[in-house]
Amino acid sequence: MELEGRHVLVTGASRGIGASIAEAMAARGARITVVARSGDALAEVAARTGAVAITADLTDPEVLEGLLARVEAEAGPVDVLVNNAGVDSTGSLTAMTPDQVRRTIDLNLTAPVELTRRVIPGMVERGGGHIVNVSSLAGYGCLPGIGVYSATKSGLTHFTAALRAELRGLPVRTTVVEVGIVQPTDMAASGLAYPPFRDAWNRLKRLGIMRDVRLEQLTRAVVRAVERDRRHVRLPRRAFTLSALPEASRRTTEWLLTGVAPRVPPG
């Protein structure tokens, strides 16, 4: 997809990955809408990118229900949706409060599914669109302290694969971003502050399976994926083995269902 003049909606865009993606898309000539809870930080990103800024808590069902209509009323139809908003909630499961569990699931999984559900009909009607779901390698390899986070990211990756099958034959593309620790980001600092997670991560780094990903590297890869209609962004590349087996089962199912209609015919 050519990004010049396209309207890109980025959630979780007040800092880190979301802010960086918004800036990179704006540099390609896209029109940007940024969404996050942090109003002041979001305003700074909007000032740098010329974006429309909308302060919203995506864990609030009423806010989530009206968000797309609000965005499109202010900035026009969405051509690219980047579901980036998320929280890590690193720590012992038994130390988490019910609200922390609920918020992690709502923000990391419910919000992207619901925004995707709402944006697809307009994209199909206009003849094109692209959905980017920022997942994690934690969806494949679970480390101590991120059980709920890992479950949401595994769900998001699997949802994207199912969505791709459902959209077969329609002009809407998907990209799932599977990434390890991205530096520098607040989420990386939060995760590494929990000793069991930090020790496990350092073990994987010593074994050569993992390494930190630079924010700029990830941003470039996401922009290229949208421009070239790529299904996946996987970083670091050396971690490919973690995702190869689960992805093989999804691809095998996709192959086995060749010729099966993905949608109920009209009428």
pLDDT tens track for 87-119: 988 999 999 999 999 999 999 999 999 999 999
| 229: region left, alpha or beta (phi > 0 left; psi from -120 to 50 alpha) | left
Give the pLDDT score at 141.
Answer: 83
Give the pLDDT score at 265.
Answer: 78
Give the pLDDT score at 267.
Answer: 65
- Alpha-carbon span 9 to 214, nearest angstrom: 23
Give the pLDDT score at 233.
Answer: 96
More confident site: 115 or 186: 115
Q: Which amino acid is at 202?
A: N
- Cis amide linkage into residue 266, ω under 30° from 0: no
Confidence of residue 244 (pLDDT cuts 50, 70, 90): confident
Neighbours of 55 (CB within 10 A): 15
- Alpha-carbon span 61 to 106, nearest angstrom: 9
Residue 266 is classified by DSSP as: P
- Alpha-carbon span 149 to 142, nearest angstrom: 9
User: Among residues 116, 151, 120, 117, which one has the least CA distance to residue 133?
Assistant: 116
| Rounded mean pLDDT, 123-142 | 95
- Alpha-carbon span 11 to 106, nearest angstrom: 14
Domain positions in the chain: 7-252
Catalytic entry in 140, 149, 159, 194 = 149
Give the pLDDT score at 30.
Answer: 98
Asked about 140 being catalytic, the answer comes back as no
Give the pLDDT score at 246.
Answer: 82
Res 8 pLDDT > 90: yes
Give CA separation, 159 vs 114, 117, 130, in Å. Answer: 12, 11, 15
Coil, helix or strand for 173? strand
CATH for the 7-252 domain, from 3.40.50.150, 2.60.120.10, 1.10.357.10, 3.40.50.720: 3.40.50.720
